[in-house]
Structures are given as C-alpha cells and as structure tokens.
Amino acid sequence: MSSHERLLSPASLGAWRLRNRIAMAPMTRSRAGAGGVPTSLNTRYYAQRAGAGLIIAEAAQISPEAQGYLRTPGIHGAEQIRGWRAVTDAVHERGGTIVLQLWHVGRCTHPENRLPGTRGVAPSAIAAPGRIFTPSGLLPMPVPVALDRAGIEAIVADYGRAAANALDAGFDGVELHAANGYLIDQFLHSSSNLRTDEYGGSISNRCRLLRDVAARLAERVGADRVGVRLSPFGAFNGAVDDDPEHLFATAIEGLNPLGIAYLHVINVEVSGDRNAAHASVDAVAFARSRWRGSLIAAGGYTADDAEEELASGQADVVAFGRPFIANPDLVERIRSGRPWAEPQRATFYTEGEAGYTDYPAADPIAAI
C-alpha cells in the first residue's frame, strides 16, 4: 500500500476542494476533431483520468488566430463549447475537477495550420527558430506580424471571452498558458520582445501583458478560478532572457496582488532545453520564495519525489504529465504501489485511439 499520505490527501485550491494533491498537467495530444471541436474520443480520454485531484485540460486556442498546431482544440466557437461540455460533464460525473488552459501560440505557427485570413503575431517581427509540422510536412515558421496596441487589446479581450466560454462549457476554472515560448512568454523574454513601448524595454513593461491578461481572466471568472503557468529559467521555442532571475521575480511578484487560485511552474530540466544556462536552478524553490499563494509544481516527478516536494512545503499540489498518458488510473497506482506503465512516444500526437484511450488500467475493474 502507498505511503504517499500527503500526495493522496485532500487540498483546498482557490474555489475548489480537491480530493488529492495530484494534478494532471496540460498536454497537447492533437486529437481534436474538425474545427477544433472536442469529440467523444476526448471525452473518454479525460473521463478515464478523472481520479486526479485536478485535471488541467490541454491548451485550447482562444481565437482562430491563436492556433499553431494541427488538430488542437479551441474555446472560441459554439461547437467547441458544446464539445467541451461533454468532456466536463464526464469528469464531473466521476467526481473530478477540471480547468482549461487558455492558449495563444503567437509566432509558433504556420499559415497551413490556421484558417485563411488569420496571421501569426508576436511582440516583435522575429521568427521562432526551428520548424513546425504542417499538412505539407515540417516547415520553417514565418516571420510574424508585430502587434500594435489595438492588436494587443483585442487579444486581451479574446482571453476574457475564452475564459467566459470555458465556464459556459462547464470547466471549473481556467489556467493561463504563459510558458514554453508561446505568446505571453514571447512578451516576457528579451530575445523575442524588442518593443520600445509600454509592452517592451524594461522587465516591468515586458511583464505587462501577463498582468493584463491574468487580471482580465480574474475579472471575467473570478480570481479564485484562475491559475497561471510559467516556465522560469527554461528555454523553449527560442524564448530566452538576458536576466531571467530578475524577469521571473518580477513576473511572479506582479501576480501576487491579483489573488489568483494558483501559480503553476515547470522544473527547468523539462522546460525545453536541458542544456539551458540555468538548468540547475530549482524553479519551484525560486517561485515559492516569491509567491504568496498556492503553488503547483510540475516536471519529471515520481510519486516519491512528489511526496518530498509536498513535505518540504514548497508545493501544494504536484502535476504529472506523461505518467498520466500511459496510466489513466495513476492515482490508484500510487495508492496501491503498483508500477507505472511507460507511454509510447510515437503516438503522442497522432490521430485515433492508439496511444490515447487504449492504455489499460492496472485493475480492469477500474477501467471505464
């Protein structure tokens, strides 16, 4: 039997009472239907994993312009809201709590992956490095359009509408994706933000969009139903900074006055570039020393590691990503001490049930 008493104990987090301190981290799986609409396959996937104290559903684009990758879900249209409602109903029927991660990829996109007439945007006209998968294969990401003030205001409004849509779809709250080199993170970092207006230049200015969007989400759905995910000191999609310690201290401390439900941080070694200059930094400890609210830690944890993180007082909840892919019954495996199955990397982003809903529970009786 498990000795992970803290991990399996209930927790209060914002507006929610969680039945354990195990969160399912948001993971893009590229299984959405046409038009970014969740399907019965997505409903089954999340229902299978409803034993988590908190499910943070995969990132959903807040507008057609916000989409970067193929077969990712949206939260800006009526059909998408209806598709997500089936997901949230299934999770709630099994006693779970589920929030939706809100996403704008910024420059990490390609025209083949978006609707005609939409554009790739960013704080500055600098292309993201690397290539992106498209219907024509792997292609370089084009130089984006630098957002003007009206464009920024429109995106803040899009985030607010998407948050309201998420509650209409039955989600218990939302998480702002401000990590991994996507739009909010692009504004944060000096390598991707060369602006000279109030959204660029100084670190405080580069943190302005993060604060503006988080405040808008709190206004629309209530601060106690909002989380924010950051990847301090990580290097992802070419977003790096000249002074990451000052940057993330400012970013985190700037969120404190909003009174949001939680801050969610990713360990550096799993946040993009394992060879990043600051890979040895304990991002969770760094965040804990600056954050006054509840903290979710994510990235590479075993059950024992997670128990130690909770015992240290640095984290209030620990999020597991890939372990939930191959172990829909991860919570029960932790409780019973059963071994964890390994996920099949080749099916992380493919279509259909294989590698998505066909991983068996250790106890067949627990399978849905």
- 83-135 confidence digits (pLDDT tens): 999 999 999 999 999 999 999 999 999 999 999 999 999 999 999 999 999 99
Q: For position 3, what pLDDT does the model report?
A: 86
- The runs of H, that is alpha helices, within the chain are 40-48, 78-93, 149-168, 183-188, 203-206, 208-221, 244-255, 283-288, 303-312, 322-326, 330-336
pLDDT category, 274, cuts 50, 70, 90? Answer: very low
pLDDT category, 278, cuts 50, 70, 90? Answer: low
| CATH number of the structural domain spanning residue 21 | 3.20.20.70
Q: How far is CA 101 from the centre of its chain?
A: 5
Q: For position 350, what pLDDT does the model report?
A: 96
Residue spans of beta strands (DSSP E) within the chain: 11-13, 16-18, 22-24, 54-61, 98-103, 121-122, 131-134, 137-140, 145-146, 173-177, 226-230, 262-266, 294-298, 317-320
Domain ranges, residue 345: 11-366
Torsion angle of the four alpha carbons 143, 144, 149, 152, in this order, in degrees rounded to the nearest 10: -150
Report how far residue 222's alpha carbon sits from residue 226's, in angstroms, rounded to the nearest whole number.
7
Report how far residue 91's alpha carbon sits from residue 217's, in angstroms, rounded to the nearest whole number.
23
Report how far residue 280's alpha carbon sits from residue 274's, in angstroms, rounded to the nearest whole number.
9
Structural domain includes residue 213: yes
Q: Is residue 92 within 8 Å of residue 76, measured between CB atoms?
A: no
Structural domain includes residue 5: no
Q: For position 95, what pLDDT does the model report?
A: 98
297-318 pLDDT, tens per residue? 999 999 999 999 999 999 999 9
Report how far residue 18's alpha carbon sits from residue 13's, in angstroms, rounded to the nearest whole number.
7
Which has the minimum average pLDDT: 103-112, 199-208, 261-270? 261-270
Q: For position 37, what pLDDT does the model report?
A: 98
Q: Residue 112: CA atoms inside 13 Å, Cβ hemisphere, count?
A: 13
**pTM score:** 0.96
Average per-residue pLDDT for the chain: 95
pLDDT category, 161, cuts 50, 70, 90? Answer: very high
- Residue bearing the bigger pLDDT, 273 or 311: 311
DSSP string, 177-217: E--TTSHHHHHH-TTT----STTSSSHHHHTHHHHHHHHHH
Structural domain includes residue 6: no
31-56 pLDDT, tens per residue? 999 999 999 999 999 999 999 999 99
- Region 188-198: mean pLDDT is 98
Residue 264: C-alpha distances to residues 177, 267, 288 (Å): 10, 10, 11
Residue 275: C-alpha distances to residues 127, 158, 246 (Å): 22, 35, 20
Q: For position 2, what pLDDT does the model report?
A: 64
Structure tokens at 18: 């969680």
Catalytic residue numbers, as ranges? 182
Residue 152, helix vs strand vs coil: helix
Q: Is residue 74 within 8 Å of residue 161, measured between CB atoms?
A: no
Which residues are registered as beta bridge partners of 172? Answer: none
Report how far residue 128's alpha carbon sits from residue 118's, in angstroms, rounded to the nearest whole number.
18
Structural domain includes residue 68: yes
Structural domain includes residue 4: no
Structural domain includes residue 183: yes
What are the counts of helices (DSSP H) followed by strands (DSSP E) for the chain? 11, 14
Q: How many residues does the structure list for the chain?
A: 368
Q: Which residues contact 305 (CB under 8 A, 6 or more apart)?
A: none
Q: Residue 244: pLDDT above 80?
A: yes
Number of domains in the chain: 1
Structural domain includes residue 59: yes
Strands 131-134 and 137-140, how do they pair?
Answer: antiparallel
